[in-house]
Structure 1
């Protein structure tokens, strides 16, 4: 049996397509309000995400948002809702579930409401993107080790090229953030910085 060095076994380069969308994952108040148990230690990713959205809008690249909301008592959250008690603050139209003003959706932008980590699981996201001819998903949002990772893995499984904007995603600690970006880069996505993402969006007009 022939062995292959890790450098050859993983990490081939995916070429982004010409029909991207920017997917803003769960940029809700729950992640940026110090009163929330989900609060992130640094809101830099929010401002980076806002700049990526601004570039997308300036060049007619569609933007899709996701947020989390549960029915009474989390009845549609299943085992996940039981595993993560902090999700209780996202029942109904809670203020913590509001999307941040810096990245607020415009009237012509889709907002996907989800109950689980992946933006694709149990939602119409994949069919919506396929119907629009989208081939590449530029991902911003939170959290890197949770909803970003789950969404990116599902994106590639649905046939989209995922680009994760490393400046525009965040987590509750640096260790899971960087470990998951490394693993996503190795197996599931291209990980790019904010200037590279914006240059790409500008070039798809």
Structure 2
């Protein structure tokens, strides 16, 4: 049996990410929600370390940065009015970095993200944040469907175990499958930010 090929490769789409200087960084749902309690993600602190380093690099390069924050209403683990739904301090917005609040997994749905990116002439997106199988995956697909070129930084993402038809699906298995699904067509997946040229 031959080695598997991605739809990206079969379609002749780029295999290497655009330069960071030519991209917009989108920090997806880096909220306290995922650092404790029922929604705590496996490897979340290491992923936040990498997201923080990526954010610092983007700030140093002067590239546009947009923060996304999920809101599921008062009393939920995603309540943006409460500390649990706040963006983690070490990756919180600075200065005039915008925050877009969303209510759906795809950051483009019901928000002005597309309009902001269009106005800025953006085409290349670098995505980091949570959860890999949910909002990162949905936003990468949504961006691709709108004509953007997403790159996902794998070690700046994380997820959690889920129940499956044949028993629990481990966080590691779900992480690998989610990244592979993105990389099949919707975006370039790199292990770490060092794989993205300046």
Aligned partner of residue 90 in structure 1, secondary structure: coil
- Conserved in 1, the CA contact under 8 Å of 2:47 and 2:155? yes
Give the corresponding residue for 1:68: 70
Aligned partner of residue 93 in structure 2, secondary structure: coil
Shift of 1:54: 0.5
Moved segments of 4+, more than 3 Å: 8-13, 70-73
Is 1:26 aligned to 2:29, yes or no? Answer: yes
Cα distance in structure 1, aligned partners of 2:74 and 2:46: 33
The equivalences for 1:33-52 within 5 A come to 33=36, 36-42=37-43, 43-52=45-54
Question: CA distance change for structure 1 residues 6 and 125 in 2, over 3 Å: closer, same or farther?
Answer: same
| Count of matched residue positions in the alignment of Structure 1 and Structure 2 | 179
Cα distance in structure 2, aligned partners of 1:92 and 1:102: 17
Question: CA distance change for structure 1 residues 9 and 186 in 2, over 3 Å: closer, same or farther?
Answer: closer
Give the corresponding residue for 2:173: 175
Shift of 1:13: 3.8
Aligned partner of residue 37 in structure 1, secondary structure: helix
C-alpha distance after superposition, 1:108-165 (max 9, x if no partner):
1110100110111110001101100111000000111000000000011111100000
C-alpha distance after superposition, 1:138-194 (max 9, x if no partner):
000011100000000001111110000011111111111100111111111101122
Cα distance in structure 2, aligned partners of 1:185 and 1:92: 31
Give the corresponding residue for 1:154: 142
Aligned partner of residue 48 in structure 1, secondary structure: helix
The equivalences for 1:1-205 within 5 A come to 7=5, 9-11=7-9, 12-14=12-14, 16=18, 19-33=22-36, 36-42=37-43, 43-72=45-74, 88-91=76-79, 93-172=81-160, 173-192=171-190, 193-197=192-196, 200=197, 202=198
- Conserved in 1, the CA contact under 8 Å of 2:29 and 2:69? yes
Q: CA RMSD in A?
A: 1.9
Shift of 1:9: 4.8
Aligned partner of residue 62 in structure 2, secondary structure: coil
Question: CA distance change for structure 1 residues 44 and 8 in 2, over 3 Å: closer, same or farther?
Answer: closer
Consecutive unaligned residues of structure 1, counting only runs of 5 or more, are 74-87
Cα distance in structure 2, aligned partners of 1:165 and 1:156: 16
Question: CA distance change for structure 1 residues 10 and 104 in 2, over 3 Å: closer, same or farther?
Answer: closer
